Structure 1
Amino acid sequence: MSELSDRCPAAGGGGGAAETWKRHIVRQLKNRDLIQYATFRDLIGFYTRLLEKTSLTKGVMGGSIRSPSYDGSGSISHLLHMNDQLKKSMGELAYQVVELQQEVKVKDCVLEQQRVRLSVEERGRAGLFEIRQELQGRVEQVREDNRVLKIEYDALLEQLRGVEAEHRLEKVKEGHLLEDMIQLKRQAAAHMNNRNERRSRAREAKLQRELQAAARSKVAVDSSSSAPASRCTSPKENHRSNSPEKGRARLFRSASVSSPRIFTSMKELFGRKRRGYSVCSLEEELMCPSGICLSARVPARALQVLEAHEQDINAVRFSSSSDLLATGGTDRVIKLWNVRGGSMTHRATLDGSRGGITCIDFDSTGWRILAASYDNSALLWQRDESVPKVTLTGHSRKVTAARFSSSPHQVLTGSADGTIRLWDLNRAACVQEVKVGSYCSDVVCSHTCIISGHYDCKIRVWDTRVVSCVEELPAQGKITSLDISCDHRQLLSCCRDDSLQLMELREWSKGRTCFRAEGFKCFSDCTKAVISPDGGFLAAGSADGAVYIWNVSTGNLKTRLPDKHSSPISAVSWSPSGEYVVSVGKNRLAVLWSDI
């Protein structure tokens, strides 16, 4: 008992040590709970229950040891029994401790896996951080590039502003130059009008002198004639008239020419012929065209072959007198040729065009030449002057056709810009414009109407009095050229379907006659065909270098003129006298044909 009592303080002391150890364990567990609460939550629960059982066991042991001290009646057997129960409880607790240790090991394994995963994630995060750093570097590079581009853009913007300022200055200079050019044109026009005025006055003075000389001359009149005939005589003839053989004749001054009233009337007549600012001279007004051809000759052979131009020839036209021929081509000049005795001789060269010549036309007197040009203009020359007298500008594309209208002071032009313009030569200005919307290949005039051919396979008839289309006739292909007969009754059209079509102008409903031939092929969009002066034949050049001539009455091919052109023929012209045909082509040659 003494040993037991001696051990009781030790037991008590052991209880104090247990309490110290408990508080230490609690502090450790609290610290661990704070660090890994979620991971070891189950282990903490088990450990808490273990502590509760341990406390209960200590209480039981303390009571058992102290009981003999207080009552002294406890038996050793009872103490041994309690000791067995305690051992049994301690074994269970040890078993639970082992289980908890195993769970701790499992949790440690899980924790190690999580640490491995965390290290992997850390490495991935480090890689992403490097990528982020690289992207940031690229962003900085892009910002730097943008900054450089912004500087360049600002520099270009400043340069653009400078160029725009220079452009505005150039526009102002252009306006001033245009005004200067207009002023120079006005001065040139005034100078030309003054020169024409002086020429006209000189012609009037010459005519007046001639009239006065005629008024002073003496004529002999046969008194026996019911209708006296007068003639101008020389002084020698007047002396003869005083001889006895002419006793019945008497000398007198012609009252018809010496009368002041008649002289004044003639002067006023010629004065009315002269118009202010007109491009027509008095000599031009007085000239008359030649007569009408009654029977045209069908050419049979070539009289002359000559190299007329330095480049391809696009157009050819006879004057109304048939003794003057004009040719024009891509060398930008018009050449005039005298046609006499079956030969062509060069007469003059007309300069001034800045583009190739596409069409040529003479006025009714043969004194003025009109031409269409690739430089978007039409030009007017006088026969004896090498520089153009008038330049008509206003089309936006090349001028493909230029014709004199029924009025001597008006001309007509057609252009690739789809418009037809009527010009007043007195003012050199456009007085009417018709917008067709289709490429205009050729135009012709007939009294009060204009007829135009277009690439949309249509022939349009315009009334100039109301500026409207009165007829629209379909064709079988692109219209390359138009020609009207001398009596203005028939219209000829050449089409790209390798055919010529002839129709009556006054009776559109009768349809049209189509002319074709084996081997004939329309070479280009500007191939020109013509009607003979008597209206009995049609002539056109082919791509094979031959001239084809059809008989209008029979509709059959009359003749074919080969072997002179080595390249396609672009245009032909029939002289108003009906005697000659001239063909021109792409080989710079002009061939004079006739039946002589």
Structure 2
Amino acid sequence: MSADEPDWRQSIVNRLRERSRNESRGKEIILQNNRLIDQASQLTEDNLKLHVENEKLRTALSTGGGKDATGAQLAIAALEKKLLAQQEELTELHKRKGENSQMIVDLSLIVEQQKKLIAEKDKIIAEQKTANISLRAEVDMLKSSLEQLKKLNATLLDEHTALKLSFSSLEEKLRGVQDENRCLLDRFMRYKSKDADKLNEENENFLRKRLPSIFRKRSDKLKRDLEDAVREPNSTTHRNSGSPSQFGDEGDTASLTSAGAGACNNGAVGGSPDYFQSLEEMLTPLPLPNFNPCIVSSSIPTNIFMKFEAHDNETHAVKWSPVERLVATGGGDRKVKLWDVGKGALEPRAVLGGSSAGINSVDFDSTGSYILGTSNDYGARVWTVSDNRLRHTLTGHSGKVMAAKYLQEPIKVVTGSHDRTLKVWDLRSIACIETKFAGSSCNDLVTTDSLGSTIISGHYDKKLRFWDIRTEKQADDILMPAKITSIDMTKDGYYLICSIRDDTIKLIDLRKNQIISSFSHENFKLSCDWARASFNTCGSKLACGSADGLVYIWSILGDLEATLKGHNSAVNAVSWCPNSNALATVGKGKRCIIYTES
């Protein structure tokens, strides 16, 4: 600020000098005017004198004659000529006097204006001086505050260093405790294994001594099962490998496993060890699911059954009702619409309002009585299908809600949001009863069974997270190659598909928590960060929309079976009909297309 002081001082000096020059110029004009007035007065007096002399000469001329008269006439002529010159000079002086007077008036006005301007400048200078003083005081105060903050920062740095040292020591202690705990756990597991082996041996001896007939029957049954399995390894009518019904009911499976384990441990029961190795292989889940051909249809929905404009702008979500041929769609126009596909009507059966932003996902409960929708206005809503009324509004997230599913129908709902949390809601009290902090934005979620004991969520940080609501603990995560856009699960809860932003779809065996297959195509590109893929009812096929406007359908075995045309822009979401082999698709072009079997 001190560098600016010479500028305004020099400006004031220059303006004062200018005013001085203007005033001195006015003084010269006034002095010149005064001199002209004096000259005019002097000429007036001379003129009077000449008039007097002229009268005298005329008198003398009228009374006298001769030479004197001629001389007088010449003198009179000279005086008249001189008088005329004096009059002309007097006229010129009066003219100059008027001009000087006008100039004086103009200069006086300019002087007044300059005085006003100087007064305004003086006022501004005074204000600037006052502001300068206050700013200097503020600078001094900020300097003192800065010094205090520097001292506080130094103190905090010292505390941080001390805390780091303390943390390092505690971390070393924790590592030591963890190692000790691991050793104790290993010892405990060895002891438990020895106890189990000993108990199996005692049970085997008891069965051999007390119940020889039962033991023999079990051994014979085990042999027959193993021989049947060896004879028909590729049977197409066997059930899913993870189902207990593959080996009978649960009790038979448990007894079979126990008998096989006891026989293997003791080397008895008259069987070869290779048989028991085959049994272990049979009990291990297969890498890909097998399906009953009576349930799974081999045909693909390639025929366009209906095509209609679902919303006023981009459509984000679609879902079939589980009990009737009813399709729900949600879009950027803040509405959820219900379409009665069975009647082939192009007008919506109902329009569900209440949202103040675009709809991100829709879902029915298992009875088809309630529909659940999430929105960009940080909330989720529940409507009843029968009367199309808004029943519940769930607000509490601080980011847009991307997905919601029912838990313990119709009591609880779980929602996933971009605020990096999952919330569990009790619909009876319409309150959030639990918040799970995921640490990353949630794009989609599913529940593993009707009781919702486990929640699986897909996140922006490439992780699948597993949440057990019974123990309130989080299981191990599964890291994907890219951020997750959607997840879907088969009805039996054994397999999960996960669409990710590297334009692939991963198949995961939930019993092993391992990726067992990947689906992709050179032209397949996911359209957005919330693009939805879906299993069909039997879990034998999966479908997903692409940015090129096509819908890709893969067999669960990995083959691309079909690409469906009809959309003119990117496809955002697909949904398989639970009661038939129909497929509903929506996309950015506002269009909803229903595909059925040809």
What's the TM-score once normalised by structure 1's chain length?
0.51
Q: Among 559, 571, 574, which residue is 2:562 paired with?
A: 559
CA contact (8 A) 1:350 1:385 kept: no
User: Deviation per CA, 1:281-335, whole angstroms, max 9, x where unpaired?
Assistant: xxxxxxxxxxx99224421121111111111100000111141110010011111
Q: Measure, in 1, the Cα distance between the counterparts of 2:523 and 2:10.
A: 80
CA contact (8 A) 1:295 1:578 kept: no
Matches within 5 A, 1:24-423: 143-147=126-130, 294-296=295-297, 297-340=299-342, 346-423=348-425
Report deviation, 1:342. 6.6
User: Deviation per CA, 1:351-391, whole angstroms, max 9, x where unpaired?
Assistant: 11111100001001000000000100000000033341100
User: Deviation per CA, 1:134-164, whole angstroms, max 9, x where unpaired?
Assistant: 69x9999755314368999xxxxxxxxxxxx
Does 1:500 find its partner at 2:500?
no
Q: Measure, in 1, the Cα distance between the counterparts of 2:519 and 2:392.
A: 39
Aligned amino acid, residue 563 of structure 2: R
Aligned amino acid, residue 525 of structure 2: K
CA contact (8 A) 1:548 1:559 kept: yes
Q: Among 477, 480, 484, which residue is 1:479 paired with?
A: 484
Map of 1:522 onto structure 2: 526
Report deviation, 1:437. 1.6
Q: Measure, in 1, the Cα distance between the counterparts of 2:390 and 2:11.
A: 79
Aligned amino acid, residue 532 of structure 2: K
Map of 1:531 onto structure 2: 535
CA contact (8 A) 1:293 1:577 kept: no
Report deviation, 1:406. 3.7
Q: Secondary structure at the match of 1:147?
A: helix
Q: Secondary structure at the match of 1:305?
A: strand
Q: Measure, in 2, the Cα distance between the counterparts of 1:470 and 1:424.
A: 23
Matches within 5 A, 1:443-482: 443-447=445-449, 448-482=453-487
Which shows bigger deviation, 464-473 or 533-542? 464-473
Q: Measure, in 2, the Cα distance between the counterparts of 1:406 and 1:446.
A: 11
Aligned amino acid, residue 327 of structure 2: L
- Tell me the C-alpha RMSD between the 2 structures: 2.8
Aligned amino acid, residue 516 of structure 1: S
Q: Measure, in 2, the Cα distance between the counterparts of 1:374 and 1:293.
A: 42
Q: Percent identity?
A: 38
CA contact (8 A) 1:339 1:345 kept: no
Q: Measure, in 1, the Cα distance between the counterparts of 2:589 and 2:368.
A: 28
Aligned amino acid, residue 468 of structure 1: K
CA contact (8 A) 2:365 2:409 kept: no
Q: Secondary structure at the match of 2:403?
A: strand
Q: Secondary structure at the match of 1:530?
A: strand
Q: Among 564, 572, 575, which residue is 2:574 paired with?
A: 572
Map of 1:84 onto structure 2: none
CA contact (8 A) 2:394 2:430 kept: yes
Q: Measure, in 2, the Cα distance between the counterparts of 1:131 and 1:544.
A: 72
Q: 1:132 to 1:429 in 2, by over 3 A?
A: closer
Which shows bigger deviation, 564-573 or 340-349? 340-349
Q: Among 540, 545, 551, which residue is 1:541 paired with?
A: 545
Aligned amino acid, residue 498 of structure 2: S
Q: Measure, in 1, the Cα distance between the counterparts of 2:417 and 2:365.
A: 20
Aligned amino acid, residue 560 of structure 1: T
Q: 1:472 to 1:377 in 2, by over 3 A?
A: same
Aligned amino acid, residue 417 of structure 1: D
Aligned amino acid, residue 145 of structure 1: Q
Q: Measure, in 1, the Cα distance between the counterparts of 2:510 and 2:411.
A: 25
Q: How many residues align?
A: 325
Q: Measure, in 2, the Cα distance between the counterparts of 1:516 and 1:409.
A: 38
What's the TM-score once normalised by structure 2's chain length?
0.51
Q: 1:147 to 1:373 in 2, by over 3 A?
A: same
Q: 1:504 to 1:353 in 2, by over 3 A?
A: same
Report deviation, 1:132. 13
Q: Measure, in 1, the Cα distance between the counterparts of 2:496 and 2:315.
A: 25
CA contact (8 A) 1:335 1:347 kept: yes
CA contact (8 A) 2:485 2:530 kept: yes
Does 1:589 find its partner at 2:594?
no
Q: Secondary structure at the match of 1:471?
A: coil
Q: Measure, in 2, the Cα distance between the counterparts of 1:333 and 1:384.
A: 17
Q: Secondary structure at the match of 2:301?
A: coil
Q: Measure, in 1, the Cα distance between the counterparts of 2:595 and 2:421.
A: 36
Aligned amino acid, residue 366 of structure 2: S
Q: Secondary structure at the match of 1:584?
A: strand
Map of 1:550 onto structure 2: 554
Q: 1:477 to 1:322 in 2, by over 3 A?
A: farther
CA contact (8 A) 1:479 1:496 kept: yes
Bigger radius of gyration among the two: 1
User: Deviation per CA, 1:247-300, whole angstroms, max 9, x where unpaired?
Assistant: xxxxxxxxxxxxxxxxxxxxxxxxxxxxxxxxxxxxxxxxxxxxx992244211
Instruction: Provide structure 2 residue ranges, at least 5 long, that are not aligned to the other structure.
Output: 1-8, 17-120, 136-292
Report deviation, 1:469. 1.5
Aligned amino acid, residue 418 of structure 2: A
Report deviation, 1:340. 1.6
CA contact (8 A) 1:322 1:339 kept: no
Q: Measure, in 1, the Cα distance between the counterparts of 2:521 and 2:432.
A: 41
Q: Measure, in 2, the Cα distance between the counterparts of 1:441 and 1:132.
A: 66
